[in-house]
Amino acid sequence: MANDCVLYNPLAGNGRGAEESRRLDTVWPDKELDYVDLTTIEDVRAYLDALPAGVSVILAGGDGTVNRFINALEGRDPGRDVYYFATGSGNDFLHDLLDGDKEGNFSADKPLLLNPYMKDLPVVHVNGMTRYFINGIGYGIDGYCCEVGDKIRATSDKPVNYTSIAIKGLLFGYHRTTAEVTVDGKTESYKHVWLTPTMNGRFYGGGMMCAPGQDRLNPERHVTVMVMRGLSKLKTLMVFPSIFKGEHIKHTEMVSMHTGHRVTVKFDRPTALQIDGETVLGVTEYAVETAAVRKEQPEKQEAGVVS
């Protein structure tokens, strides 16, 4: 019988991805596992197709690893069971599942079946590219934090403190925008905007419950858009920590929530954006389409897309 395959990202978990993935030897001691560096595989789809029938894959990494994996498949069914083992630094996807797990189905120490969560994912169109995402799109000070974090990571091997970056950004580094937000054809304009993410799950940014009412497996497959604005930096600084518990939505004078299937967000100046933690610079506009929208446009779909 062929061994199951662990595709690990050595860059995950602040460079400890290879070491952390080896915890699987203890977690699944009855399995024979082959460890393969995911970053060395040029064509992930072809690699999966070449594996013997019945071989399962365990994807070991963080949210960015999952994002790159689903985009390498271009939305297609992987053709075999794929499990996820979190070895990242943020692990918002796992956090979302654990937080909503009332029956004890999930554990941070055991791989979970990823296949159901790769189906019917939304896509974002930004700066001429189209990408699937599993958690969310951050646009505003959240994208700014990823941009600053990338710069710090390039010059230091110390863990990046995104909360500290956000606080400094609120006080000094980040400049608010005017945003035009269109959801399912209805447009609203907002001034003094700090962030305008679109969420498939509830968490991003290493544990921020940005969209507490969002269910990634909701039957309609809608997404949630959150707009946070504020003229006062001091009040914003006081409210901002409440995002970690999802209590920011109580501040309706500062926070607006929208759900829908077609989303366009425009800023009046370029700023950074993040897709599941991966930074895109110089963005003035992004658009999101859910699977429901894409199914209305079958001519845009390729054969074999997960549905």
Quote the pLDDT of residue 202: 97
Domain assignment present for 307? no
Quote the pLDDT of residue 156: 83
- For the chain, helix (H) and strand (E) counts, in that order, are 11, 17
Quote the pLDDT of residue 307: 33
Domain assignment present for 305? no
Instruction: Check whether 89 has a pLDDT greater than 70.
Output: yes
Report, as an integer, the average pLDDT of 139-146.
93
Which amino acid, residue 136? G
Question: What are 271-303's pLDDT values in tens digits?
Answer: 999 999 899 999 999 999 999 998 887 655 443
Q: Label residue 90 by pLDDT band (50, 70, 90).
A: confident
Percentage with pLDDT > 70 across the chain: 96
Q: Which domain holds residue 113?
A: 4-118
Residues 94 and 238 in one domain: no
Residues 264 and 163 in one domain: yes
- Domain end among 64, 98, 118: 118
Domain assignment present for 186? yes
Quote the pLDDT of residue 101: 81
Quote the pLDDT of residue 299: 53
Instruction: Check whether 124 has a pLDDT greater than 70.
Output: yes
Residues 283 and 137 in one domain: yes
Report, as an integer, the average pLDDT of 88-115.
89
Quote the pLDDT of residue 302: 46
- Domain end among 93, 118, 143: 118
Residues 95 and 47 in one domain: yes
Quote the pLDDT of residue 306: 40
Q: What is the mean pLDDT of the chain?
A: 92
CATH number of the domain within which 185 lies: 2.60.200.40
Task: Express the helix, strand and coil content of the chain in percent, nearest 5 each.
Answer: 30, 30, 35
d(CA 298, CA 294): 7
Question: What are 170-222's pLDDT values in tens digits?
Answer: 888 899 999 999 999 999 999 999 999 999 999 998 889 999 999 999 999 99
| pTM: predicted TM-score of the whole model, two decimal places | 0.91
The Cα-based distances of 99 to 94, 109, 133, 202 in angstroms read: 8, 15, 20, 10
Residues 255 and 153 in one domain: yes
d(CA 193, CA 254): 9
Residues 271 and 128 in one domain: yes
d(CA 210, CA 135): 10
- Domain end among 118, 153, 168: 118
Q: Which two tokens stand for residue 138?
A: 């951050």
Q: Label residue 125 by pLDDT band (50, 70, 90).
A: very high
- Report the domain count for the chain: 2
SS3 72: helix
Residues 110 and 136 in one domain: no
Domain assignment present for 306? no
> In degrees, to the nearest 5, what angle opens at C-alpha 72 toward C-alphas 66 and 74?
105
Burial (CB < 10 A; 0-12, 13-18, 19+), residue 163, is middle
d(CA 211, CA 226): 7
Question: What are 224-277's pLDDT values in tens digits?
Answer: 999 999 999 999 999 999 999 999 999 999 999 999 999 999 999 999 999 998
Instruction: Check whether 43 has a pLDDT greater than 90.
Output: yes
Percentage with pLDDT > 90 across the chain: 78
